[in-house]
Amino acid sequence: MPAPQHAPGQRRHRRRRLCVSAGAAGAAAVLAWAAWGALGPRTAASADTADAPVSAEPVRPSARAVLRDAVASAYAAALPRPEGQVAIGIRDVATGAVATVGDTGFRFHTASVVKSHILAALLLKSQDERRPLTERETALVTPMIRQSENEPATALWPLVGADSGMAAVYRRLGMTETAPGVDGLWGLTTTTVGDQLRFLDVLHASGSPLSRASRAYQLHLMSTLDKEQIEGGVHTIADPGTTYPAKDGWLPRSRTGLWIINSIGRVRVEGRLLDVVALSQDQLSQTAGVEQVQKALRHVAPAAARALDAREGKVSP
């Protein structure tokens, strides 16, 4: 369901160049690995003097370098000329490695993804006041998340302090690149792919400002979405039969007719647990925007999982 908005958007049709820094250290590590394999331990030893030490282990590329290379290559293959603005972010939960690609510095409108932020803000408020959610609050957050209904979000927005209250929440959560929508236009909150990866970490990390009980409550709601809410986005790359927390957001801009298509979640892809964020804006239609995001995710997420598994000597299922 689209989030309410009234502020005008600006039409953008220029292409964006791929924005990925693979890292000199990662590239050097890959070259070192290749060189060692080409020489072999016997050849390498014969090139040195008899009393020179020989390294027993090759230099293995870092998880960060491997992930960034895999994400960059897969994204370029999937979207050589992306429409509008697009950014994809991947965090490998096991190693903590992060890679982002596309329009990584662009401030995207969140659309209904912000509903998951509103829930987190309400849970922080209840923690601070040392009380559980009230019956009314519970009655509002459930349809806001599971059915992505707009009216509960509009009702909860002032309860969490509206734009000023949400700005304080974002500072508290370390989301320095996210700014709440003003004048009640919560769907026009702006954010970056990096901040959405931070938010997913907030929902899972033991050191999060959210208590263990709050995290469990939010993750339960985000893992039990209604059927119509689990089509497209990160839902298309999750391993079959797995349960995972996610939130999508889509929104047509009233002045331009262009679409915002977003999806975030922690999903298991080919057996590997990944935080995945897909943000896009200025899409020509809802269908075209959804298809572009799905194409990117179907290339990038499996490639990331396979590359990281290969680095660890594993074979992806």
Residues 93-107 pLDDT 10s: 999 999 999 999 999
For residue range 134-161, what is the model confidence (pLDDT) as tens digits?
999 999 999 999 999 999 999 999 999 9
Percentage with pLDDT > 70 across the chain: 81
3-state secondary structure 137-158: HHHHHHHHHHCCCHHHHHHHHH
Half-sphere CA count of 183, side-chain side, radius 13 A = 5
The residue ranking higher by pLDDT, 14 or 132, is: 132
For residue range 222-252, what is the model confidence (pLDDT) as tens digits?
999 998 898 889 999 999 999 999 999 999 9
Task: Report the distance separating Cα 145 and Cα 289, nearest Å.
Answer: 22
Contacts of residue 116, Cβ cutoff 8 Å, sequence gap at least 6:
145, 199, 218, 222, 247, 264
Average pLDDT (52-58) is 60
pLDDT recorded at residue 14: 39
Has residue 86 got a pLDDT over 60?
Answer: yes
Confidence band for 56, pLDDT divided at 50, 70 and 90: low
For residue range 246-296, what is the model confidence (pLDDT) as tens digits?
999 999 998 899 999 999 999 999 999 999 999 999 999 999 999 999 999
Task: Report the distance separating Cα 142 and Cα 230, nearest Å.
Answer: 16
Confidence band for 309, pLDDT divided at 50, 70 and 90: very high
3-state secondary structure of 115: helix
Task: Report the distance separating Cα 159 and Cα 182, nearest Å.
Answer: 15
Could you give the maximum distance between any two Cα atoms of the chain, in Å?
A: 79
For residue range 4-54, what is the model confidence (pLDDT) as tens digits?
444 434 334 333 333 333 343 344 333 333 333 433 433 333 334 445 555
Closest listed residue to residue 126, CA positions, set 159, 170, 85: 159
pLDDT recorded at residue 46: 39
Whose structure tokens read 């998880």? 63
